[in-house]
Amino acid sequence: MSVIQTPVADAQLIADVLRRAHRIAESAGEPDEARAIFHVAHSFADELATMNPQFDRLQFIEAATADPS
């Protein structure tokens, strides 16, 4: 199995999905679930940074968990 470099669009899609899940957990008053999603965002950021040293981990984590408003 070969590993393919993740394009920016894929990273954005992942961040969008995580952000929606994080927002839903927060609005439902589920802090443990929101925290778990935050940890998943960190895991994705670590993996993406391993594949691409130029990858901005902090920007990804913020995009995955920040309130878009």
pTM: 0.82
Position 1 scores a pLDDT of: 45
Using DSSP's 3-state secondary structure scheme, residue 41 falls into helix
63: which residues sit within 8 A by CB, 6+ positions away?
12, 15, 16, 19
User: In terms of residue numbers, what domain contains 58?
Assistant: 8-65
Please report whether residue 12 resides in a domain: yes
Please report whether residue 1 resides in a domain: no
Tally of domains in the chain: 1
Please report whether residue 13 resides in a domain: yes
Position 52 scores a pLDDT of: 87
Confirm if 5 and 51 have CB atoms less than 8 A apart: yes
- pLDDT (tens digit, 9 = 90+) per residue, 23-51? 999 999 999 999 999 999 999 999 999 98
Please report whether residue 3 resides in a domain: no
Please report whether residue 2 resides in a domain: no
